[in-house]
Amino acid sequence: MTISLIVELALSGLLLATIGYCAVLERRLSALRKGQDGLKETIGDLNTAIVNAGASMRALKAHAADAAENLDERLARARGLIDELSMLTSAGERIADRIDRTATTSRAVANGATPAVLTSRLEALRPDALRQEALRNVR
């Protein structure tokens, strides 16, 4: 055996080892490419989800603004109704007071009381007169 044959056998062995290592490396690179494709797909799906979430947030914000505007309108109408009911209530109380005074006067006249007596009684029933009398009693 000559030296050239030994060198060629050694080189052939090293070449076979290199070819085997290249095959293993090719399998690993192929798996890495497949993983990279999966990662690209996952990133694309994530990007789509982010875009959809942004659109949903804008729609939610718009609906919330519409609801707030609707609520403001309802509150304004409710406040108007409160004011109107307050005016109607006070008008009703004034009418009831007039009716009560008229009924009291009619009963007093029917019982023979004089209008001067009725006037002094009505003056005593006024809120200012009652307050002054209450203040006198406290002092």
Domain layout of the chain by residue ranges: 7-138
3-state secondary structure the chain: CCHHHHHHHHHHHHHHHHHHHHHHHHHHHHHHHHHHHHHHHHHHHHHHHHHHHHHHHHHHHHHHHHHHHHHHHHHHHHHHHHHHHHHHHHHHHHHHHHHHHHHHHHHHHHCCCCHHHHHHHHHHHCHHHHHHHHHHHHC
Q: What is the pTM of this model?
A: 0.44
At 63 the pLDDT is: 95
Ranges of residues in the chain whose predicted pLDDT is under 50? none
At 135 the pLDDT is: 62
At 99 the pLDDT is: 86
At 105 the pLDDT is: 73
At 109 the pLDDT is: 65
